[in-house]
């Protein structure tokens, strides 16, 4: 068991004899006895550590003076005491607000009211600025107003002392015990904050959303093979011609360029209730567990944010940047893969591949955002978006094709109006095309292009319709296009 000298600096040994059993606070008819000051010269050198702040709350000035004298040369862990005085509970509250690092309060009960000290304790522990760290020692000269047993049980204090029984020795040990307790609470709080910081940092590598879907409270609970199956919408975005862009950048500039984009896109994903599953170089893969429309709104906002980025790049005489966004909805497995020394949260599903194919097709059509038919069917009100059918696409190796739709809400208003104006003509051309009525289809596509000259999908259909009109279609033709690579 540690002695009362634990944590007391060696320089104090010569002064311990001063802490005797003389009463500090005598009855009214007794003479007050103060600690002998003969050998209590202060050290010339100031401690390199900040002192412990002790708040004395009492309506008698003499109590403040006696306490300061008795603890004048007190040190705990090489730190002296810094005394702060308050002569009422109201003033004490102000002192606490002004000093956020008070370690100990030596508190009287009866001041401006008979229970002023007790009400102060309640406010400090349970009020708007509740503080459970500060140690509170109740010192009363009228124990009849505050019986020890009931006070200890009913109020969150750490010690109770009657002034008529408090000696210098008892005050010394009381302060030591209180400061040790405060120090330990500080360490616990620092450890708690460190754990919280680690958890926050870990969430940047393994999103808390993955933990939630795996029904895990903490990253430490996650194990290899943990997985769950659910339906989500996957958004895949990629910078077009990044290799060409990066040729004119240093590695450092390329690194900063990617981070500039990701710093903008990440918050957009979160705003629309999604989370980033992974970054793949200049690509982003995000998951949207609730509504497919959340992914579409995120894609639109990403394209709009890119416009602002390009305004800044244009001012710096830098080449403009384009991204493609592909979106697909379906069942997937979300879980932890890897081996015991290296785990990673990820998604295993063909849904991811299809979303990536959607993004790849944006280059073919020069489209900002493409979604699959499955995603379109998930929308409660697709009419709220500007969208149109593009093609039936079959990924190499798959049996079924996927119908692809363009979302062009992020286009300039002039482009939106032109596409909307030519929608009916384009649809008529596509219908004739799939019926192998290529002459009629050609006429519709030409008309669509005359109204919207830069519409890439009309150009694609026109070129194909003219070829098939002249040469006929291959055996087994059904109008689908096959994508062999992204």
Residue 369, pLDDT > 70, answer yes
Q: How is residue 337 written in tokens?
A: 């893969």
- Per-residue confidence (pLDDT) for residue 220, from 0 to 100: 66
pLDDT given for residue 385 in this prediction = 95
For residue 5, the model assigns a pLDDT of 37
What is the per-residue DSSP string for 70-89? HTTT--BTTB-EEEEEESSH
Percent of the chain with pLDDT over 70: 84
C-beta of residue 328 within 8 angstroms of C-beta of residue 234: yes
**Burial readout 172-192 (b: 16 or more C-beta within 10 A, e: otherwise):** bebbbbbbbbbbeeeeeeeee
pTM greater than 0.75 (yes/no):
no
| 91-109: average pLDDT | 94
Confidence of residue 298 (pLDDT cuts 50, 70, 90): very high
Residue 132 C-beta-side C-alpha neighbours within 13 Å: 5
The CA-atom distances, in angstroms, between 229 and each of 189, 211, 294, 347, 392 are 38, 13, 20, 10, 28
Q: In this structure, what token pair is assigned to residue 294?
A: 């959340």
pLDDT at res. 33: 37
Whole-number pLDDT of residue 107: 94
**The tokens 């109770």 sit on which residue?**
160
Residue 288: what pLDDT? 96
Per-residue pLDDT band for 318 (boundaries 50, 70, 90) equals confident
Please say whether the beta carbons of 54 and 106 come within 8 A.
yes
Asked whether residue 345 carries a pLDDT value surpassing 70, the answer given is: yes
Kindly tell me the sign of the dihedral angle through the C-alpha atoms of 203, 206, 211, 213.
positive
Q: pLDDT digits over 228-244, tens only?
A: 888 999 999 999 888 88
Amino acid 24: pLDDT: 60
User: What are 139-167's pLDDT values in tens digits?
Assistant: 887 666 556 667 877 888 888 888 877 78
Predicted confidence at residue 35, as pLDDT, reads 38
Lowest mean pLDDT among 24-33, 128-137, 457-466: 24-33
Checking if the pLDDT of 17 tops 60, the result is: no
Query: What is the C-alpha to C-alpha distance for residues 399 and 272, in angstroms, rounded to an integer?
Result: 33
Residue bearing the bigger pLDDT, 89 or 29: 89
- Name which residue leads in pLDDT, 484 or 192: 192
C-alpha span between 445 and 460 (Å, rounded): 9
Nearest CA to 178 out of 117, 81, 124, 105 is that of 105
Weakest mean pLDDT among 135-144, 187-196, 373-382: 135-144
Mean residue pLDDT of the chain comes to 84
What is the pLDDT averaged over residues 375-389?
94
What is the arithmetic mean of pLDDT over 200-211? Answer: 69
Residue 373 contacts residue 292 (beta carbons within 8 Å): no
Return the pLDDT at 202.
63
At residue 40 the predicted structure's pLDDT band, cuts being 50, 70 and 90, is: very low
pLDDT at 15: 40
Q: What percentage of the chain exceeds 90 in pLDDT?
A: 54
More confident site: 118 or 399: 118
Distance CA 57, CA 81 (A): 15
Nearest to 374 by CA among 332, 410, 409: 332
pLDDT at 32 (0 to 100): 38
> What digits encode the pLDDT tens for the residues 414-427?
999 999 999 999 99
For residue 4, pLDDT over 90 is answered with no
List pLDDT tens digits, range 241-259.
888 888 888 888 888 889 9
Asked whether the predicted pLDDT for residue 204 surpasses 70, the reply is: no
CB 116 within 8 A of CB 110: yes
Q: Report, as an integer, the average pLDDT of 358-387.
A: 94
Tell me what the mean pLDDT of segment 459-476 comes to: 93
């Amino acid at each position: 068991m540690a002695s009362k000298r634990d944590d007391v600096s060696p320089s104090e040994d010569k002064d311990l004899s001063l802490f005797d059993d003389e009463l500090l606070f005598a009855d009214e008819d007794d003479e007050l006895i103060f600690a002998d000051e003969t050998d209590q010269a202060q050290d010339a050198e100031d401690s390199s550590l900040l002192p412990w702040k002790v708040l004395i709350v009492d309506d008698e000035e003499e109590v403040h003076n006696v306490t300061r004298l008795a603890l004048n040369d007190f040190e705990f862990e090489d730190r002296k005491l810094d005394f702060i005085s308050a002569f009422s509970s109201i003033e004490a509250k102000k002192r606490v607000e002004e000093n956020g690092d008070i370690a100990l309060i030596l508190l009287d009960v009866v001041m401006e009211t008979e229970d002023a000290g007790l009400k102060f304790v309640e406010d400090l522990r349970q009020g708007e600025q509740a503080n459970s760290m500060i140690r509170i020692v109740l010192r009363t000269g009228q124990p009849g107003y505050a019986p020890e047993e009931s006070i200890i049980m009913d109020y969150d204090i750490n010690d109770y002392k009657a002034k008529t029984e408090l000696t210098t020795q008892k005050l010394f040990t009381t302060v030591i015990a209180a400061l040790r307790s405060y120090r330990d609470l500080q360490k616990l709080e620092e450890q708690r904050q460190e754990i919280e910081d680690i958890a926050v940092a870990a969430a940047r590598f393994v999103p808390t959303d993955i933990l939630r879907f795996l029904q895990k409270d903490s990253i430490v609970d996650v194990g290899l093979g943990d997985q769950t199956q659910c339906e989500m919408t996957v958004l895949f975005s990629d910078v077009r011609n990044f290799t060409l862009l990066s040729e004119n950048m240093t590695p450092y500039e390329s690194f900063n360029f990617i981070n500039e984009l990701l710093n903008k896109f990440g918050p957009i994903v979160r705003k629309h209730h999604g989370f980033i599953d992974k970054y793949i170089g200049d690509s982003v893969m995000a998951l949207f567990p609730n509504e497919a429309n959340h992914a579409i709104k995120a894609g639109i906002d990403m394209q709009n944010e890119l416009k602002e980025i390009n305004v800044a790049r244009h001012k710096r005489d830098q080449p403009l940047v384009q991204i493609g966004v592909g979106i697909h909805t379906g069942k997937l497995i979300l879980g932890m893969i890897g081996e015991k020394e290296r785990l990673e949260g990820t998604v295993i599903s063909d849904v991811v591949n299809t979303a990536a194919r959607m993004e790849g097709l944006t280059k073919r059509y020069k489209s900002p955002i493409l979604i699959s038919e499955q995603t379109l069917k998930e929308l409660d009100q697709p009419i709220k978006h500007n969208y149109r059918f593009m093609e039936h696409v079959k990924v190499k190796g798959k049996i079924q094709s996927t119908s692809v739709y363009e979302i062009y809400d992020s286009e300039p208003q002039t482009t939106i109006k032109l596409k909307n104006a030519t929608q009916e003509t384009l649809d008529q051309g596509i219908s004739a095309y799939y019926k192998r009525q290529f002459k009629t289809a050609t006429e519709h596509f030409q008309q669509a292009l005359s109204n919207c000259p830069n519409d890439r999908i009309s150009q694609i259909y026109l070129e194909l319709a003219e070829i098939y009109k002249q040469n006929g279609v291959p055996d087994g033709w059904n109008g689908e296009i096959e994508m062999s690579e992204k």
